[in-house]
Amino acid sequence: MEDGLRKPGTVYLVGAGPGDPELITIKAAKALEKADVVVYDALIQKGLLGMAPKDALMLYMGKRAGRLCPSQEEINDTLVEYAVTGKTVVRLKGGDPFVFGRGGEEVLALGAAGVPCEVIPGVTSGIAVPASMGIPVTHRGVSGSVVFVTGHPGSGLNDPVDWEGLATSVSTIIIYMGLTRLPEIASRLIAAGRPSDTPAAVVSQGTGEGQQQVIAPLGELFSAARKNGIKTPALIIIGPVVGLREKFATLAAAALPAAPVSDGIA
The confidence score (pLDDT) of residue 210 equals: 85
pLDDT, residue 127, reads 96
pLDDT at 245: 92
How far is 236 from 150, CA to CA, in rounded Å?
Answer: 10
Please write the tens of the pLDDT for every residue from 156-191.
Answer: 567 889 999 999 999 999 999 999 999 999 999 999
pLDDT of residue 227: 96
- Which residues are catalytic, by number? 41, 63, 177
Which stretches in the chain have pLDDT values below 70? 1-5, 64-68, 154-157, 252-266
3-state percent breakdown (helix, strand, coil) of the chain, nearest 5: 35, 20, 45
pLDDT of residue 260: 47
d(CA 241, CA 243): 5
Alpha-carbon gap, residue 163 to 169, rounded angstroms:
10
Domains and CATH numbers, the chain: 11-120 (3.40.1010.10), 125-263 (3.30.950.10)
Per-residue pLDDT, 229: 94
Predicted local distance difference test score (pLDDT) of residue 5: 58
Q: What is the pLDDT of residue 110?
A: 97
* DSSP code for 56: S
Distance of alpha carbon 117 from alpha carbon 80, whole angstroms: 10
CB count in 10 Å sphere of residue 232: 14
Write out the E strands in the chain.
Answer: 11-15, 37-40, 57-60, 89-93, 117-120, 146-150, 172-176, 199-204, 212-217, 234-238, 261-263
pLDDT recorded at residue 22: 93
pLDDT, tens digit (0-9, with 9 covering 90-100), for 133-164: 999 999 999 999 999 999 987 655 678 899 99
Give the pLDDT confidence score for residue 147 in this predicted structure.
97
pLDDT at 251: 76
Q: What is the pTM of this model?
A: 0.88
